[in-house]
Structure 1
Amino acid sequence: MSEPSQEISSPCPGLSRASTPLISAGEDMDGRAEASGSDAVLRTAMPGHDRTRGQSSARKVIPAFAILCVLVTATFAAWLVSLGPLPLEKAREISTTIVDRNGKLLRAYAMADGRWRLGVDARTGVDPTYLKLLLAYEDRRFRSHAGVDPLALGRAAIQVLIRGHIVSGGSTITMQLARLLEPRRERTLYAKLRQIVRAILIERQMDKDEILNLYLAIAPFGGNLEGVRAASIAYLGKEPKRLSLAESALLVALPQSPETRRIDRYPDAARAARDRVLDRMVEEGVIAEDDAISAKVSAVPRLRRPMPMLAPHSADQAIVSVKAKPVIALTLDLALQKSLEALARDRAIALGPNISVAILAVDNASGDVLARVGSPDYFDERRAGQVDMTRALRSPGSTLKPFIYGLAFEDGFVHPESLIDDRPIRFGSYAPENFDMTFQGTVPVRKALQMSLNVPAVALLDRVGASRLSSRLKQAGTDLVLPKDEAPGLAMGLGGVGITLQDLVQLYCGLARLGNTRPLREIASLLDDGRDSLRLLDQVAAWQVGNILLGTPPPENGVRNRIAFKTGTSYGYRDAWSIGFDGRITIGVWVGRPDGAPAPGIVGRTAAAPILFDAFARTGKLPAPLPKAPKGTLVASNAKLPLPLRRYRSVGELVRTDGEQPPRIQFPLNGSRIDATGADGASFSAMPVKVAGGVLPITMLVNGVSVGELDGRRQRLIEPPGPGFARLTVMDAKGAADTVVVRIQ
């Protein structure tokens, strides 16, 4: 039985089990072995041999492949972990911007490292033409891919092979964003792979709008400019909301090579790059050829503009008040702010090199600040430009007089048509005089306020009380500052107190609001909580004051009966004021030297009032009418007033119909000092009191205690009550009285 086996193996001497795989080397594409002749005989002789061997090999290959996959996956995962998280938070940092009530940019602050990076919303803050060109040029399938565009990568590779140079990049906007988040200088396959992976991660963490907004905010445009908004403002001088085709193409071209295409250094290179963008857009059918030809004619700007810096004092204050907020909205109106800044600058130049101008405009209804000009030029050192003169403490001159009259109207002892004396008078040692050193005699109260006469104002303040005026103004939200260790006195009615333009405007805004003030608001994010109305005057009194000020003769550039206003000039020509209001807005103007030095010739009526009326004209609206007279307002001529209101009389002076004069203490004078000791040091036994007028008998009171009646000559000797202040009062038979306060020493 051994012979047959030898015969079978004889054709292939040396054949062994180890060599049998060579027999099946001719496998077809399906993996099946070709079997014929002796191979068939051999397979018949050794059934199951190949099957066992193949299964053994598969069992060895599959685990090895699985292990390799695990190793590759683990290595890739470890690499991904080593990349760390995406630096999105740092990339989202932007320059702090100050915007007006309508979201328009007033001022921007550079970031800590000096870069300008302004946030932008692609849907509302960028011109659609620019977005169309950007996506067509950089990433036409931006809205559909997952971070990587294989078609764009393939097209870029083919273009390089055909033309020998890069025609268009294969990076998507998301990949470019990844490169900007983690900048690298080398351009290697590894760097590209890293961008691809990062782009996919970005797409998983952000939606398309967020990706586009972040790209538009941090894309480089040369120098320290980042983002399309910063570039548009610096290069084109405007927001990117409305761009021409040429401007859009320019802004698309610059980020490709931001440093070599900077328009302030290489304008020709920037123009060539812009034109290439236009040509490619024509090739791809994005824009018409005629439009591209027209766009190429447009010149490229060659200068970089400074960033906007409107309302610098308000912006500085907002930065201090609001922490860690990228966008701070103010209540200011950009158009009005810009116009009033130009007005202040022009008028300051005309007034002199050291003269400054400050303007504040407030909305009456809300108390919102619409414009604040703290100085004519923020960088003018001679005018102390960085000092906000709207918040500086200065002497108000005559600008507090309307509130003296308002309290007098409120108390009911005087009416706008009442007559009042403007004559020389003394209040103790204080003898007020008018600005022009003249006296007008008997005038209506209305005219006394319109002419800003000092004597009538001081007489009314003496009746109202300086302390009451001070407390009422503080109650209305105003901070008055008196000299150290000094109590409110009659001098405060003529400017003997410190106040800011901001507080004065708030008070006058209260007149326009018929007697209630509201704390001013400048930061729009602050809610109205805590801004309740504060009482200044009753409605009738406030309306009467406003009605009088409406008739004040305007300066040469003004129209009568349009604006209720008051002027003031502080002692020594240090401050010139003019504050006015209509039914909609209140504006205050201050003119003077910031260092407090005298400025001869600077008077409220000639220096500040013209600026005030010009400021109202620049609001772009006609003056709104003042509120109508409140119910219960007495509107009548002097002849039709009740008898007590026809003429102002001091305390104790009663109305008489028989021609008799009320009693008046002629000696001692009010506020005088009486020396009660003689030359030898002995004290007087009696002090004379002399009275004029009055109906006998006249009773004498010392500190409220009766000491008897005056004689027929209206005189009496009284015993001094002792060192200190003494109140001397006389009262006649008809109840008329007069009082003086003296100091006995």
Structure 2
Amino acid sequence: MWRRPIAPEQVSPLYLEALLGYEDRWFPIHPGVNPIALLRAAWQNLRSGGIVSGGSTLTMQVARLLEPHDRTYSGKLRQILRALQLTWRYSKAEVLTLYLNHAPFGGPLEGVETASRAYLGKSARELSHAEAALLAVLPQAPSRLRPDRYPQRARRARDKVLQRLLDQGVWSAQAVADARMETVWAQTPRAPFLAPILARRLKQEGGAERGVIVSAIDAGLQWRLEERLTTRINGTPAGTSAAALIVESDTLLVRAYAGSADFHDDAAHGQVDIVQAARSPGSTLKPFVYALALEQGLIHSQSLLSDVPRAFADYAPENFDHAYLGPLSAAEALARSRNVPAVDLLTRIGANLFSARLRQGGLTLSLPSGARPNPSLILGGAGVTLEQLTGAYAALARGGLSGALRLRPHAPLQERRLLTPGAAWIVRHMLASHRPGVARDAGLAMAQSRKLAWKTGTSYGFRDAWAMGVSDRYVIGVWVGRPDGTPSPGQYGAISALPLLFDIVDSLPRHQQWSAAQAPPPSVSHVEICWPLGTLPDPHQPQLCHEKRMAWALGGAVPPTLPDLDHWRPLRVSLALDADSGKRVDASGCGARRVITREFARWPTRLEPWLSPNRLQRSALPEWACAPQQAPPVAAPLRIVGARDGDVIRRAGPGAPPPTLELRALGGDSAQHYWLLNGKQTHQGERFSLQMTTPGSYAITLLDETGVYDRVTVIHAAN
């Protein structure tokens, strides 16, 4: 028999209304037997000369399911006695639960959840009015009314239920009319499998004990995982599949293993084990580059990073949303998965070292033949398996120790040092500090979202969507996509894999899922730092601290803001000032009576286009008291030619095409130019043609490699 346990509160209320309204209206109040129904059945049987009605309550039907008997008067008497005993011993909810899980639905199907999934391909939580009425009537004649074989019979029986519920006022006329319009459709039930891909893998690997293969799988977690995958994949484009792992953090035992969403789905290559397949990881490797940057003393959690257009040799990464946010802390850049800061850190660490450290920790990157590690690694320019990636993420919950996942309970624990305990703790804390709305919108309860560290990823061309989650008890890895490698446009980690991850997290046992927040290891300290320098506050020079932030630092090191390797300028400068006016003076003193020296803090040049007026004013250097004797050479200012700030643009006339601005970069000291439209990078090059298709405000920014910029705002006014 095929049976999936389910409780009354997990079943659609529509099904319970249909079941009780059709089978046993007085179930909540009778003692297990309805005397009026029995007398009516006896009268009908006497008039017909045979048994045509049994007058059974739901409790009596449960009694017969548990103790089958012949359709005789002695059998009916025994059924009545058992029903009274059930009511005496069990609550109404317990009796109803027995019915929900043991009622026959045709063939080997027992229970409403099993029938709903076998016939309708969905959980009994999600039934429509028509589907609830159909499943309510099937146990009366499960073989004769099987909807996959006899849809017309099933429809007549369903409509009979709908009519009775309408007569009783349980459902409205409109709801019943809509339900009658639904055709009866059911798929042919297929044998249920529990972790079929894992079973095949373990069989191929051998190691049976007396003919029995023992796995580490928790059957309850496996059922819930497969249910979540099936529910989420229903309604996705054809050929879409999913894979997921639930791993115990402490032991690395795999408690649930789904290599695909549906083993029987040939269109989605359901028998392919995605857990072992090499796929592009998208941004899921970013936490490890931040961890290595922490270990090397390059950053702390609140280090100032630059999310701006730039090129790294011949590699010019863009953000997923084609927008740039300017100044960000390391924690914000990781939580928001910004590409440019991650590539910047990888460039400083070295792609070869990064790849070697991952390999040391058990995560081997698959590169094209002849290729060497390069900056694109951090954005998915290599292949990883879900199995190894999950083992690597386990380091965030295990003090930096990753390891090989254990499929069998007696498999040896093979650990590797991937990260230091302090770096692992800080990165996990950074990943658990997401914006609350992201978790809430994706379906995770707020209390849980504050205790789950997670990261998403999307490969180039929307081929792979990832979501990785880490809690104290479990590490969870999720992949969504098409196994054949074809793109799934519009499907990416945050909308495809992340909601599935949260579904899985919400299905975990509450008493096992969370524990108190881990205390930081001794190597981690909580310190106050200052932007833009990134260092500790200097009580003797408060003017250097423009903004204060609390940061997690590793090993007592509080590294300063990283220098721009391509266009360096000191962020901390010492200037000679006229003590009376506060203006700058050169070596001549500009006639000042007294000259003092004072230090100033500046923001990185590349960030200036994104600084607010307050930040710009705070970091502006004093003006000169006199023209300096040796002024440094200054390149011609960078300017936008073709539009002026405040210009109002209109169509040439009714029916004329939308206006087009032909813009050109003039001046500056760089051959590389970036054009941003309303904050998003739109074009690279000296010239930019902007077609203004809709009325509104257009903020146009021209930026070069040195951080010099010009900005104009033009208005496209409706005629």
TM-score by length of 2: 0.50
1:288-687 aligned within 5 A: 303-305=107-109, 308-325=192-209, 326-526=211-411, 528=412, 531-553=413-435, 554-555=438-439, 556=441, 557-558=443-444, 559=446, 560-621=449-510, 622-639=513-530, 641-642=535-536, 645-650=559-564, 656-658=572-574
* Alpha-carbon distance in 2 for matches of 1:541, 1:275: 74
Kept after mapping to 2: 8 A contact 1:473/1:536: yes
* Alpha-carbon distance in 2 for matches of 1:518, 1:563: 21
* Alpha-carbon distance in 1 for matches of 2:604, 2:515: 49
Deviation at 1:292, TM superposition (A): 11
Output the aligned Cα RMSD. Answer: 3.7
Q: Which runs of no fewer than 5 residues in structure 2 stay unpaired?
A: 1-61, 87-98, 110-189, 538-557, 575-599, 606-631, 635-668, 670-719
Q: Assess, with a 3 A threshold, how the Cα gap between structure 1 residues 444 and 313 changes in structure 2: closer, same or farther.
A: same
Amino acid of the structure 2 residue aligned with 1:544 = I
* Alpha-carbon distance in 2 for matches of 1:651, 1:299: 72
Kept after mapping to 1: 8 A contact 2:252/2:403: yes
Kept after mapping to 2: 8 A contact 1:278/1:292: no
Q: Assess, with a 3 A threshold, how the Cα gap between structure 1 residues 692 and 477 changes in structure 2: closer, same or farther.
A: farther
Amino acid of the structure 2 residue aligned with 1:523 = R
Kept after mapping to 1: 8 A contact 2:367/2:383: yes
* Alpha-carbon distance in 2 for matches of 1:499, 1:443: 29
Kept after mapping to 1: 8 A contact 2:571/2:604: no
Amino acid of the structure 1 residue aligned with 2:421 = Q
State the secondary structure of the residue aligned to 1:645.
coil
Amino acid of the structure 1 residue aligned with 2:384 = I
Deviation at 1:289, TM superposition (A): 12
* Alpha-carbon distance in 2 for matches of 1:543, 1:299: 51
* Alpha-carbon distance in 2 for matches of 1:335, 1:436: 39
State the secondary structure of the residue aligned to 1:351.
coil
Kept after mapping to 2: 8 A contact 1:616/1:623: no
* Alpha-carbon distance in 1 for matches of 2:502, 2:83: 49
Deviation at 1:525, TM superposition (A): 3.7
Q: Assess, with a 3 A threshold, how the Cα gap between structure 1 residues 301 and 578 changes in structure 2: closer, same or farther.
A: closer
Kept after mapping to 2: 8 A contact 1:398/1:495: yes
Deviation at 1:497, TM superposition (A): 0.4
Runs of 4 or more, structure 1, over 4 Å off, are: 244-250, 274-279, 287-295, 297-302, 305-308, 650-655, 659-664
Q: Which string of whole-angstrom CA distances, capped at 9 and with x for unpartnered residues, describes residues 622-650 of structure 1? A: 53344221112121233284486241225
Deviation at 1:493, TM superposition (A): 0.7
Give the aligned partner of residue 153 of structure 2.
none
* Alpha-carbon distance in 2 for matches of 1:692, 1:585: 60
Q: Which runs of no fewer than 5 residues in structure 1 stay unpaired?
A: 1-243, 251-270, 665-690, 694-713, 715-745
Kept after mapping to 2: 8 A contact 1:463/1:651: no
* Alpha-carbon distance in 2 for matches of 1:578, 1:455: 20
* Alpha-carbon distance in 1 for matches of 2:65, 2:602: 86
Kept after mapping to 2: 8 A contact 1:578/1:609: yes
1:48-447 aligned within 5 A: 303-305=107-109, 308-325=192-209, 326-447=211-332
**How much identity, in percent, do the aligned residues show?**
36
Deviation at 1:308, TM superposition (A): 4.7
Kept after mapping to 2: 8 A contact 1:582/1:626: no
Kept after mapping to 2: 8 A contact 1:512/1:581: yes
Kept after mapping to 2: 8 A contact 1:417/1:637: no
* Alpha-carbon distance in 2 for matches of 1:438, 1:474: 33
* Alpha-carbon distance in 2 for matches of 1:521, 1:275: 56
State the secondary structure of the residue aligned to 1:611.
helix
Amino acid of the structure 1 residue aligned with 2:269 = A
Kept after mapping to 2: 8 A contact 1:361/1:586: yes
Q: Assess, with a 3 A threshold, how the Cα gap between structure 1 residues 249 and 484 changes in structure 2: closer, same or farther.
A: same
Kept after mapping to 2: 8 A contact 1:417/1:646: no
Deviation at 1:354, TM superposition (A): 1.8
Deviation at 1:300, TM superposition (A): 8.3
Give the aligned partner of residue 659 of structure 2.
none
State the secondary structure of the residue aligned to 1:578.
strand
Deviation at 1:294, TM superposition (A): 8.7
Q: Assess, with a 3 A threshold, how the Cα gap between structure 1 residues 381 and 300 changes in structure 2: closer, same or farther.
A: closer
State the secondary structure of the residue aligned to 1:354.
coil
* Alpha-carbon distance in 2 for matches of 1:594, 1:276: 60
* Alpha-carbon distance in 1 for matches of 2:451, 2:363: 27
Deviation at 1:463, TM superposition (A): 0.7
Q: Assess, with a 3 A threshold, how the Cα gap between structure 1 residues 475 and 302 changes in structure 2: closer, same or farther.
A: same
* Alpha-carbon distance in 1 for matches of 2:103, 2:601: 90
Q: Assess, with a 3 A threshold, how the Cα gap between structure 1 residues 418 and 662 changes in structure 2: closer, same or farther.
A: closer
Deviation at 1:504, TM superposition (A): 1.2
Q: Assess, with a 3 A threshold, how the Cα gap between structure 1 residues 380 and 465 changes in structure 2: closer, same or farther.
A: same
* Alpha-carbon distance in 2 for matches of 1:692, 1:398: 42
Q: Which string of whole-angstrom CA distances, capped at 9 and with x for unpartnered residues, describes residues 556-606 of structure 1? A: 112342310011111011111110111111111111111101110001111
Amino acid of the structure 2 residue aligned with 1:623 = W
User: In proportion to residue count, which structure has more strand?
Assistant: 2
* Alpha-carbon distance in 2 for matches of 1:572, 1:288: 63
TM-score by length of 1: 0.49
* Alpha-carbon distance in 1 for matches of 2:601, 2:106: 88
Kept after mapping to 2: 8 A contact 1:514/1:538: yes
* Alpha-carbon distance in 1 for matches of 2:407, 2:346: 34
* Alpha-carbon distance in 1 for matches of 2:417, 2:497: 28
